[in-house]
Structure 1
Amino acid sequence: MPQLNPSPWFAILIFSWLVFLIVIPPKVVNHVFPYEPTAQSVEKPTHAPWHWPWY
């Protein structure tokens, strides 16, 4: 039964986890945003009451 031979699949599993744990995290952590976020104003906007024509 060749499905039970773990030698090729175990190597693929270990290699893929090494890629996920060693190669990808530094790329994600070093990501730079294209712009700095700006702070929004503190004052709350005033909302006009909505008058329903059928109410």
Structure 2
Amino acid sequence: MPQLNPAPWLMILIFSWFVFLTLIPPKVLAHTYPNEPSPRDTKTFETKPWNWPWY
């Protein structure tokens, strides 16, 4: 049964994991968003009580 022979498949598995672990993570970590969020103003607004007309 040729599928039980680990000689070709083991090297393919090792090479594919080598590619995944060395090439792809730096590309993903270097990704930047096109619109970086800007810090919002720290100004707080003064709240006023709401007068309910029926109370």
Report the TM-score range of the alignment, normalised by the length of the smaller protein. Answer: 0.5 to 0.7
CA distance in 2, matches of 1:28, 1:20: 11
The residue type paired with residue 3 of structure 1 is: Q
Residue 38 of structure 2 is matched in structure 1 by 38
Residue 19 of structure 2 is matched in structure 1 by 19
What TM-score do the two structures reach when normalised by structure 2?
A: 0.65
Larger radius of gyration: 2
Q: What's the Cα RMSD here?
A: 1.8
CA distance in 2, matches of 1:26, 1:32: 12
The residue type paired with residue 33 of structure 1 is: Y
Count of paired positions: 43
1:13 Cα deviation after fit: 0.2
- % identical equivalent positions: 60
Residue 4 of structure 1 is matched in structure 2 by 4
What TM-score do the two structures reach when normalised by structure 1?
A: 0.65
Segments of 5+ residues of structure 1 without an aligned counterpart are: 44-55
